[in-house]
């Protein structure tokens, strides 16, 4: 019971000093103001009413902050999930989104139970950069219809290239008013951060307020949130599970898994970035962070929200504003809820082109375009292939396929590089007469025993190196062979089988093989597999020098040099 209670325990919410409370309250309000227009814009990009994005910021944001493993992460609707969620809405309708969120939340909780948090941190860097850039391009081009108010397009189109071509073939339907609103919004979003007096005010808030006021005051003919989705509700939502449809849930397993994986990756990346920005020594707990994110995604659909994950930009904004505890996330959620209840009626006047402009800037920021260009110019060719392929598959096929392909091809390339590293290397004197792999005294002993074949094994004796390992060690006739295992720290079943085969082959041919300097973390595996017993205690030594002394030196002309390597197997 105590273990269960400890697992359910929330992150520390110790009451800070008055100065700390004020600092975190201000940071939370700042992030909440930033989150308000972004939450509306991201919900619209997904294809659901704006209120769903606001509810997500409120309830998912609060739950993830309280139960999560990072004191800095700000959770809510994010651009990273937009292509996945928009695809779900397009294929199954808006009613499928809360089901996906609920299933993804459960999967993330399971991931936390099995401690997958530490594993996700090993996602290849090129894959992360690739699918993030692909997501950014998808979001940016996906907002062209709202930015320009293109009409007559086919809403059933799913793939990037089809939707983009459809947009360009209907550009003749564009009227001047909406592109001007969009261009004005972009100008404000780009210019305001460069004005010293306006830097303290979030650019999206300035763009929304200014362009909404202009469009409303002058009666600009442009689509608005209300004209597309109606007025925003101003009541506190009631929890419900009426949306759940078991028959539909079976069709949503694949997108739920994709959402769970991507949300987990984004939250843990955000936590890593936050750790780097923080001046405190504490670091996030990845498994606790997944648990909090899972709870957040279980609660969000019940309260009318959509799937959520931590937002790196909002998290960074909170830290820059002085936030240094979970209270920043709590105040962020409270701010969004207060503004939604108090000003929800005014949100209906926001031009859709302004929201599109906000998302275009968000897409640019998350794309890390300068970093991508640097990789394209300077990254190794194989890594470049992973990056470009991940971007293209994200754009033209599916994000989950892109992640899977990127991880698999990265693993294949890693194995290919590992295979190129010799699994076993013969210890021979160099031009100076010195064996470089060992001490000077041991080198001298090896140099005076040309009748013994000396090899050192290195790295991991595993499936990727077993064949090369066998090739190196076979082919020395009946010469005694000493295999130094000091640099081997892992051996798997393939490696054990290979080593067993080499030992049996030499024993059948009348040759002696000795293992020396076996590492403590490798010896148990050799013992359990029966290799130590097969060798016999007389052929296992802690020190290579003792192994050399155990082999009688040949006399006179019987002494002979090591036979050269032959074809082998």
Tokens of 514: 């000795």
Nearest-CA neighbor of 43 among 347, 295, 269? Answer: 347
Domain with CATH 3.30.750.24 in the chain: 424-558
Spatial CB neighbours of 110, under 8 Å, sequence gap ≥ 6: 294
- In tens digits, the chain (569 residues) has pLDDT values of 444 445 455 555 555 677 878 889 989 998 998 888 889 999 988 989 999 999 999 999 999 999 999 999 999 999 889 888 998 998 899 999 999 999 999 999 999 999 888 777 677 878 888 888 888 888 888 888 889 988 888 877 777 888 889 889 888 888 889 999 999 999 999 998 888 887 777 888 889 899 999 998 888 889 988 888 887 787 788 999 999 998 899 999 999 999 999 899 889 888 988 888 877 878 889 999 999 999 999 999 999 999 999 988 899 888 988 888 899 999 999 999 998 888 777 888 889 999 999 989 888 888 888 888 888 888 888 888 888 888 898 888 877 778 788 888 887 887 777 666 667 777 877 777 788 778 888 888 888 888 888 888 877 777 666 666 766 666 555 678 888 988 888 888 888 888 888 888 878 877 788 999 998 888 999 989 988 988 888 899 998 898 988 888 765 433 333 333 333 32
CATH of 424-558 given 3.40.1180.10, 3.50.50.60, 3.30.750.24, 3.20.20.70: 3.30.750.24
pLDDT at 477: 59
Question: Dihedrals φ, ψ of 515, to 5°?
Answer: -105, 135
Burial class of residue 120 (count of CB atoms within 10 Å of its CB; 0-12, 13-18, 19+): middle
* CA 172 centroid distance within chain: 41
pLDDT at 5: 44
Tokens of 436: 């470089």
Asked if 410 and 402 count as a contact pair (C-beta separation under 8 A), the reply is no
Bridge partners (DSSP) of residue 455 are: 426, 483
pLDDT at 301: 96
Nearest-CA neighbor of 75 among 421, 325, 332, 348? Answer: 332
Tokens of 90: 């397009």
CA distances from 152 to 176, 241, 554 (A): 17, 36, 93
pLDDT at 2: 47
Question: How would you classify the pairing of strands 309-310 and 513-516?
Answer: unpaired
H helices then E strands: how many in the chain?
Answer: 28, 7
């Amino acid at each position: 019971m105590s273990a269960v209670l400890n697992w359910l325990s929330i992150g520390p919410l110790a009451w800070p000093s008055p100065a700390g409370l004020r600092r975190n309250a201000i940071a939370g309000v700042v992030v909440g103001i930033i989150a308000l227009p972004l939450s509306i814009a991201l919900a619209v990009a997904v294809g659901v009413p704006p209120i769903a994005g606001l509810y997500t910021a409120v309830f998912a944001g609060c739950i993830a902050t309280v139960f999560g493993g990072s004191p800095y992460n700000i959770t809510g609707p994010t651009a990273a999930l937009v292509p996945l969620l928009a695809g779900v809405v397009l294929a199954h309708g808006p009613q499928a989104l809360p089901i996906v969120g609920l299933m993804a939340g459960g999967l993330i909780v399971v991931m936390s139970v099995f401690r997958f948090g530490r594993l996700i941190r090993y996602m290849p860097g090129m894959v992360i950069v690739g699918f993030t850039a692909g997501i950014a391009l998808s979001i940016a081009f996906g907002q062209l219809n709202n930015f320009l108010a293109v009409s007559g397009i086919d809403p059933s189109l799913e793939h990037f290239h089809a939707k983009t071509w459809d947009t360009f073939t209907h550009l003749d339907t564009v009227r001047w008013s909406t592109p001007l609103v969009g261009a004005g919004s972009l100008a404000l979003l780009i210019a305001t951060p460069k004005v010293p007096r306006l830097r303290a005010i979030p650019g999206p808030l300035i763009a929304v307020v200014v362009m909404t006021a202009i469009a409303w005051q002058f009666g600009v003919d442009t689509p608005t949130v209300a004209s597309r989705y109606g007025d925003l509700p101003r009541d506190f939502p009631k929890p419900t599970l009426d949306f759940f449809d078991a028959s539909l849930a079976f069709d949503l397993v694949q997108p739920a898994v994709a959402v769970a994986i991507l949300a987990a990756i984004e939250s843990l990346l955000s936590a890593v970035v936050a750790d780097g920005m923080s001046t405190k020594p504490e670091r996030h707990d990845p498994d606790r962070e997944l648990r909090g994110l899972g709870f957040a995604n279980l609660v969000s659909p019940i309260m009318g929200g959509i799937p959520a994950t931590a937002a790196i930009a909002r998290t960074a904004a909170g830290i820059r504003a002085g936030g240094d505890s979970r209270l920043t996330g709590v105040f962020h959620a409270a701010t969004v809820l207060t503004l939604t209840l108090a000003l929800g009626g005014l949100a209906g006047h926001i031009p859709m082109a302004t929201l599109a402009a906000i998302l275009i800037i968000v897409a640019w920021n998350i794309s890390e375009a300068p970093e991508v260009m640097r990789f394209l110019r300077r990254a190794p060719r194989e890594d470049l292939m992973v990056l470009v392929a991940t971007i293209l598959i994200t754009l033209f096929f599916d994000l989950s396929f892109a992640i899977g392909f990127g991880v698999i091809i990265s693993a294949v390339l890693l194995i290919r590089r590992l295979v190129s590293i010799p699994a076993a290397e013969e210890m021979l004197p160099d031009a100076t007469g010195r064996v470089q792999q060992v001490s000077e005294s041991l080198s001298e002993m090896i140099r005076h025993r040309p009748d013994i074949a000396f090899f050192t094994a290195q790295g991991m004796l595993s499936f990727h190196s077993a064949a090369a390992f066998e090739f190196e060690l076979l082919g020395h006739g009946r010469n005694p062979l000493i295999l130094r295992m000091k640099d081997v720290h892992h051996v798997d079943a393939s490696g054990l089988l290979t080593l067993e085969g080499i030992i049996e082959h030499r024993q059948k041919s009348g040759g002696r093989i000795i293992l020396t300097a076996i590492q403590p973390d490798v010896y148990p595996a050799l013992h359990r597999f029966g290799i130590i017993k097969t060798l016999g205690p007389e052929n296992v030594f802690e020190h290579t020098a003792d192994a050399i002394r155990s082999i009688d030196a040949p006399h006179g002309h019987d002494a002979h040099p090591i036979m050269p390597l032959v074809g082998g197997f």
